[in-house]
Amino acid sequence: MKFTSITRKIIMSLLGLFLVVFLTVHLGVNLLLLSSDPDLFNTASHFMATNPVIQVMQYVLALGFILHIVFGIILWLQNNAARPKGYVKNNAGANSSLESRTMIYTGALILLFLIIHMRNFFVVIKFGEVPPGGDYVLVTELFGIWYYTMLYVVAFILLGLHLNHGFQSAFQSVGLNNKTWTPVWKIIGTFYSVIIAGGFSLIALYHFFV
């Protein structure tokens, strides 16, 4: 099936907004790690791992990630091919933000982190042996390792930059942009990206220092 450039952008945007919902839910569950009662996080984690609806949705989520990456690469290649020679060298910052120019690179680094993250958490929880104390101990012990915590925080800062542009761009691509709404999406996008990057980083740093 052939997609036009506009269709690809719309699909990419809708997939991005779908992933935004996932990140919001994921942060909500992870904030339970700040509680003094480990059972809260363990109970929530067990529910997420056994609920049949969520089990089906994890495959939908995985497909969403893959398609988001594929369409992102295709659009990046198309945009590069469409630019005249010397554009990147001479006009890279003329009409675009740093976030928009580095989307492909932040996306690639986030994907690399996601692979490491899945190996350390998802694979262990699904197929490995969770330590005594449950998922809470599995997560917090990793946050006790300085280089993993540093990697985790850097990855979510990059995700924040990626989201800051992606959130605004998604609404623009689906046609919800005008003089009234564009500034609103920018403010909401910036606020959301700070909450996501700051929230996940706070959890990791809290357990590293505590």
What confidence score (pLDDT) does residue 3 get? 65
What confidence score (pLDDT) does residue 174 get? 66
One-letter amino acid identity for 10?
I
Burial of 62 (0-12, 13-18, 19+ CB in 10 A): exposed
Residues contacting residue 147 through CB under 8 Å, at least 6 positions apart? none
Sketch out the chain's domains with CATH numbers: 5-209 (1.20.1300.10)
CA distances in angstroms from 142 to 27, 102, 120, 138, listed in the order given: 17, 29, 8, 7
How far, rounded to the nearest angstrom, does the alpha carbon of residue 80 sit from its chain's CA centroid? 24
One-letter amino acid identity for 88?
V
What confidence score (pLDDT) does residue 58 get? 86
Structure tokens at 65: 């990630």
DSSP state at residue 178: S
In a structure prediction context, what are the per-residue pLDDT tens digits for the chain, which is 210 residues long? 566 767 777 787 788 888 888 999 999 999 999 999 999 999 999 898 888 998 888 888 888 888 888 888 888 888 787 766 655 555 555 556 777 788 889 999 999 999 999 999 888 887 888 888 899 999 999 999 999 999 999 999 999 999 988 888 777 766 667 777 788 888 998 999 999 999 999 999 999 998
What confidence score (pLDDT) does residue 67 get? 86
CA angle 58, 60, 64 (to 5 degrees): 115
Structure tokens at 179: 């003089």
What confidence score (pLDDT) does residue 92 get? 53
